Amino acid sequence: MPPEYTIRPCTTDDVPAVGAVEADAFAGHDLYPNFVFRQAVDIQGDGFLVAEHVASGAVVGYVITTASQRDEDQWWIVSLGVMARHRRRGVGSHLTARAEAFGASKRAGGFLLTVDPGNIVALRLYHHLGYSEIARLSGHFGEDEDRLLLAYAAG
């Protein structure tokens, strides 16, 4: 990742800025409200990371990862977003790598995530990072809201 960005755990002070990243990255889609991010700071710990633009101090991306409570060997990349004007500089892939490293430190065996089948950019990113499709989840988020289930084996 270029030196103008740094990755660190999200703090309560970052929550409004993470909400702004969410609004930018997922414009036109259902958004996580800020109270969910506020709770995630307490619940996820170092599984909730932000990317900061060093020169301006602005939060420009975030990722949330967590262990599945059904199978603690499996971790989920719950959400990943980067502000449009900071994309294609490695921020998204480094946020994902840091989330995976956190999971690996807690003995994660693998990572799962879902993605909109039409989100070609995200699919390219995840393929680039070694994820592969293991299922198509029909109506996963509601009618006409299919998702692709992607997996990555740690280690």
Ligand X SMILES: CC(C)(COP(=O)(O)OP(=O)(O)OC[C@H]1O[C@@H](n2cnc3c(N)ncnc32)[C@H](O)[C@@H]1OP(=O)(O)O)[C@@H](O)C(=O)NCCC(=O)NCCS
Residue closest to ligand X, measured at CB: 92
Interaction between residue 82 and ligand X (CB under 6 A) = yes
User: In the bound complex, what is the minimum distance in angstroms from residue 32's beta carbon to ligand X?
Assistant: 12
The torsion angles phi and psi of 85, rounded to 5 degrees, stand at -80, 0
Amino acid at 62: Y
Interaction between residue 150 and ligand X (CB under 6 A) = no
With both helix axes pointing from N to C terminus, report the angle between 91-105 and 120-128 in degrees, rounded to the nearest 10: 50
Strands 110-115 and 5-9, by their bridges, are unpaired
Interaction between residue 80 and ligand X (CB under 6 A) = yes
Q: Which residues pair with 153 in a beta bridge?
A: 110
User: In the bound complex, what is the minimum distance in angstroms from residue 75's beta carbon to ligand X?
Assistant: 15
The residues binding ligand X (CB under 6 A) are: 25-26, 80-82, 87-93, 115, 119, 121-122, 124-125, 128
